[in-house]
Structure 1
Amino acid sequence: MKPQVYRSKLAWIFGWAWLVFAAWNTWDLIAHGRMPSALIAGAVLGVITALVFVMALRPAILAEEGGVRVRNVLRNAYIPWNAVDDLSVTSAIVIESGGTAVRCWTPQATARERARAAGQAVKAASSKDRVERATAAVGGRTHADWVAQQLEEMSRSRRQTSTGEARVTWSPSALAVLAAALALVVAAVVLS
């Protein structure tokens, strides 16, 4: 079964747009650039691209059959459904398991988004229209609240099929991308 992926759609679109921009500029630097300025511009482009990858494209919550996998900026966490003790939403979704609390990088609820959702809920609840009153329960939630509710329902329904144990590890892909960006900066400093 394919995992269900929750992430910031805006960050994901921005990340891919940046990658297209970076690829175009890399081609331009290779085709038309002159040393050492092309090397310095390439290093800056590489550092920004690495940051966009780890902060916009990589973070996600993957709801799998056996548990929930959280990809944050530099760390990965896996929590089987039967080990999920509590799910809460402040500005971010927090999944608690035993003594471990995993704070999810995405999706997050801003104070403005919370205030707008609360205002919509109050307006819908005080309305005389049945359709608006029916949407009052949905109107008071942010995207992060909705994702947390989905995860909580999955945790309850999939407890019997969960596998593995809770673990938090460093992300090899994120560390490799940051190391490559650092290598570009060192090469630009040494060769220019």
Structure 2
Amino acid sequence: MKQTYRSRTAFVLAWVWLAFVAFNVFDLIVRYSGKASLVALAVLGALTALVYAVALRPATVLTEAGLVGRNPFRTTFVPWASIEDVTVSHSINVHHGEEQVLRLWTPMSSARERAKAQRRGAPAPQRGRFKTEPTLTKGEQAAAEAFSGKTHADWVGDQIRERAESARRRDGQAAPARMTWSYDAIGVLVVAVVLVIAAIVVA
């Protein structure tokens, strides 16, 4: 079963930006004013390429065969049995091979999110003689304990760690990781840079 994790905030903001760019491109074409419009279109193109690379493309994908880490300019595939350890700080760090570390771009854990998770994990204060909090079911209590003090990045890190441990017990032998460059992101950025240079030359 394939599971994909992204930064929801970055993903939503990226699509808002694309809608903003589409409106402005239409407006610039309708009200074309020569060199100034060309420069504006080139700048929008460059910024959109950057948004694609850092907000739309990054993802952490859990497949049957292994972990796929899509960062802005490269994609790394690590078989489950090759993963030796997983640590979570600001980002999820996957240790594999000979002291190699794959730092996943998403999901990340901000200081604010971690502080919120710690508050969520703290026991609720008892106020007065009578309980005013609703009684949780066993399922709700189990879910609350599982997420107690953990951020989304911590939870995804746990999923990666569990799959890796299961694969090491089952397979034993670890295959090497594979890294490929993200030609789509690189190509988009190259086109954006060419547009900016052309706009500057024309202007």
Normalized against structure 2, the TM-score is what? 0.85
Structure 1 alignment gaps of length 5 or more: none
Assess, with a 3 A threshold, how the Cα gap between structure 1 residues 36 and 51 changes in structure 2: closer, same or farther: same
Counterparts of 1:67-82 in structure 2, within 5 Å, are 67-82=66-81
- Alignment partner, residue 3 of structure 2: 4
Assess, with a 3 A threshold, how the Cα gap between structure 1 residues 73 and 13 changes in structure 2: closer, same or farther: same
Aligned alpha-carbon RMSD (Å): 2.2
In 2, distance between residues paired with 1:71 and 1:102? 10
In 2, distance between residues paired with 1:78 and 1:35? 46
- 2:168 matches 1:169: no
- Alignment partner, residue 94 of structure 1: 93
Which amino acid is the alignment partner of residue 74 of structure 1? Answer: F
Instruction: Answer with 130-139 or 74-83: which moved more.
Output: 130-139
CA contact (8 A) 1:36 1:191 kept: yes
Instruction: Answer with 114-123 or 62-71: which moved more.
Output: 114-123
Instruction: Answer with 133-142 or 176-185: which moved more.
Output: 133-142
Deviation at 1:158, TM superposition (A): 4.2
Instruction: Answer with 151-160 or 137-146: which moved more.
Output: 151-160
Structure 2 alignment gaps of length 5 or more: none
Aligned residue-pair number: 190
In 2, distance between residues paired with 1:97 and 1:62? 17
Counterparts of 1:108-187 in structure 2, within 5 Å, are 108-124=108-124, 131=136, 134=142, 135-159=144-168, 160=170, 165-187=176-198
Deviation at 1:155, TM superposition (A): 2.1
In 2, distance between residues paired with 1:43 and 1:25? 12
Structure with bigger gyration radius: 2
Greater helix proportion: 1
Deviation at 1:185, TM superposition (A): 0.5
Deviations 1:15-64 (A, max 9, x none): 11211211221122122221101011001101110111011101100111
- Alignment partner, residue 60 of structure 1: 59
In 1, distance between residues paired with 2:122 and 2:72? 36
In 1, distance between residues paired with 2:174 and 2:81? 8
Deviation at 1:136, TM superposition (A): 3.9
Instruction: Answer with 154-163 or 24-33: which moved more.
Output: 154-163
Deviations 1:75-101 (A, max 9, x none): 211100110111110100001111210
Normalized against structure 1, the TM-score is what? 0.89
In 1, distance between residues paired with 2:176 and 2:21? 39
In 2, distance between residues paired with 1:16 and 1:116? 27
